[in-house]
Structure 1
Amino acid sequence: MRSHADDTRLRALLVAADEAALTEAYDRHAPSAYALAARITGDPCCAEDAVQEAFVELWRHPERFDPAAGSLRTWLCMLARRRAIDLLRRQSVQRTHLTRLAGQAPTEPTVEDDVLGAAQAKAVRECVRELPQLYRDAIALAYYYGLSYRQVAIELGVPEGTAKSRLRAGLRLLADRMEAAGYSLSGQ
């Protein structure tokens, strides 16, 4: 029963926006969520992203966790599992779409493709993390969580035009930083 009591206590603290409770939940449950996500994706970077998204969900909406329905560990693992599967689907759709645009038949990625893709994804994540928060938040909501301009505006509490402006400016700044890091964005 100690686990249920701890989960109930953590939920109450998270609802009250207690950052120490998030740290405690992360320290306690991230290794399990990561192990599951890594088994699903087979990619450490994707697994990290899935776990990060699960904990962002916990932080943003702690009230969605119900200790009476199950443990926090189980709930976070379920979120990480869903995010890992979503990431795999997104990668598959992107690969198929890109090969169609190039006029080629879809091919299986090589190890080199996977390594290059992982390196580029890591560089993008690092450049996004370095953006000013107002751009970083807008980009994360739109591109990592798939929200529309209107949904981004609602989440940020700003007018829709402001959300669009932040996204455009943030993407421009991101492109500049990516090019400065040596990544060509011209498609060559």
Structure 2
Amino acid sequence: MPLDDDSRLVALYDAHGPSVWRYVVHLTGDAAGADDIVQETLLRAWRSPRIMAQEPASTRSWMITVARNLVIDEARSARRRHEIGVAETPERAAGDATDALFESLLVEEALVTLSLEHRAVIVHAYYGGCSVAEVARRLGIPEGTVKSRLHYGLRALRLALQEKGVTR
């Protein structure tokens, strides 16, 4: 007498459910999660006409494979990795400004060693963002003098930084 789908599903569970459950617990260490995996495995067997047509004794390897794939899928899922969606992206972490602070202190110490004329031109041009013409107008000196002081001032600044071990 042929078995109906409900009877076959009960027979599948009776024949393979405990074995599949132990296998999943062995893989995951989670008894509650193993119940869910076994239930999903049986649901997939019930949805598969080929499996439901077979004798329950010949489907264990198929069920073990399905259960193993479900465990792998669960391990790869975002829910398993405890990822949650949020409405807004989190703020970016601010970097540590300690290195920049030390570099600025070294440059400041090196600038102090320059002559007042060279220092004024470099500060206006590089820290003030002024063009050569603007620096010349602000300091009341010709543009050629600004270019010359920038050139020699940067050279002196480089030497001062080299003495402090900052540059090559």
TM-score bracket, shorter-length normalisation: 0.3 to 0.5
Structure with the higher helix share, 1 or 2: 1
In the superposition, the TM-score normalised over structure 2's length comes to 0.43
